[in-house]
Amino acid sequence: MRIIITGGTGLIGEALTRSLLSDGHAVQVLTRNPSRTKASAEGLQYVQWDGRTAQGWGDLASGADAIVNLAGEGIADGRWSKERRNRILQSRLDAGAAVMAAISAAPVKPRALVQASAVGYYGPRANEMINESASPGSDWLSHVVWEWENATASAARLGVRRTVARTGVVFSLKGGAFPKMKLPFDMIFAGGPLGSGDQYIPWIHIEDEVRALRFLIENAATEGVYNLSAPTPVTYDQFAATMGEVMGRTSFMPAPAFALKAVLGDMASILLTGQRVVPARLLEAGFKFQYPELAPALRSVLNKQAAPA
């Protein structure tokens, strides 16, 4: 297969690229870093783009087996200033517009489009069990995710099979929200729940994230929205207790909500609110999780950190 990936140099994109290359697929990663275009390995091609248009790469869309649109400024990478909120939204709208321009102009339409999304679509929902049929939330992040998804919605009308991957908290030490969740446990006597502790965490191991994305790329029967999160969402109390057990640290020192808001600003809402998301459609389609339970997933991620280079 030949797969085009936007956002291929990010946390999920890099892991997906490695997985595809290991199975002999050709991967074309769009990048705004010109120096990367000279560093392509066997089966891998870095292609320069501006993040906003199809200029310079749009012809690649013709006949591609799939486009995976992961591009967008990291939501958990810093405080949500007004300027940063604008960048978070606009980067996703621009990438979606570029992808749609390439698809629209392609003489031979790509077979599939996998559109990245997030469980933030649902907004804070307490302990309500949420599957893919749930309505969107009403907070700022829900609005961003709705716009993100909608940016490529017209692909289906052009005859392209389109799936939307609403991803939870990805367990990886290389980026995203997980390193921030782990930080208190790295400090002696500091680990514990955040805020009330009863908010749910829709989580997924990085390896299952990649496997699920590949499932959506390769399975022609998949279409529409899929929650990419483990089938066992847990509360932050449960996460803290398990994390403390796995790391051999205390897990009873809560971080109050006001302290998190003082450090992270509005971005603290990612950690202080949650969604009890289940991957109903992914399971119905036959996907098997490698890490469906929390403790083995945490051991896997943390053991990789401790392993010698």
pLDDT tens figures, 229-277: 999 999 988 998 898 889 887 655 565 555 555 555 555 566 666 889 9
**Residue 92 above 70 pLDDT?**
yes
CB distance 275 to 122 below 8 Å: yes
Question: In whole angstroms, what separates CA 76 from the centre of its chain?
Answer: 11
Between 42 and 224, name the one with better pLDDT: 224
CB atoms within 10 A of CB 197: 16
Domains of the chain, each with CATH number or no CATH: 2-303 (3.40.50.720)
**Residue 172 above 60 pLDDT?**
yes
What's the whole-number average pLDDT of the chain?
88
- Euclidean distance between CA atoms 304 and 172, whole angstroms: 10
Token pair listed for 58: 């749009």
CB distance 276 to 128 below 8 Å: yes
DSSP, res 255:
B
pLDDT band at 309 (very low <50, low <70, confident <90, very high): very low
- Euclidean distance between CA atoms 300 and 48, whole angstroms: 35
Q: What is the mean pLDDT of residues 29-47?
A: 82
The structure tokens 């709705």 sit at 146
pLDDT tens figures, 102-130: 999 999 999 999 999 999 999 988 889 99
Least trusted range by pLDDT, from 158-172, 209-223, 257-271, 291-305: 257-271
Strands (E), the chain: 2-6, 26-31, 44-48, 66-69, 112-118, 129-130, 161-167, 169-171, 200-201, 203-205, 224-228, 234-235, 276-277
The set of residues, in sequence order, having a beta carbon less than 8 Å from that of 291 and lying 6+ positions away, is: 205, 207, 208, 230, 297, 300
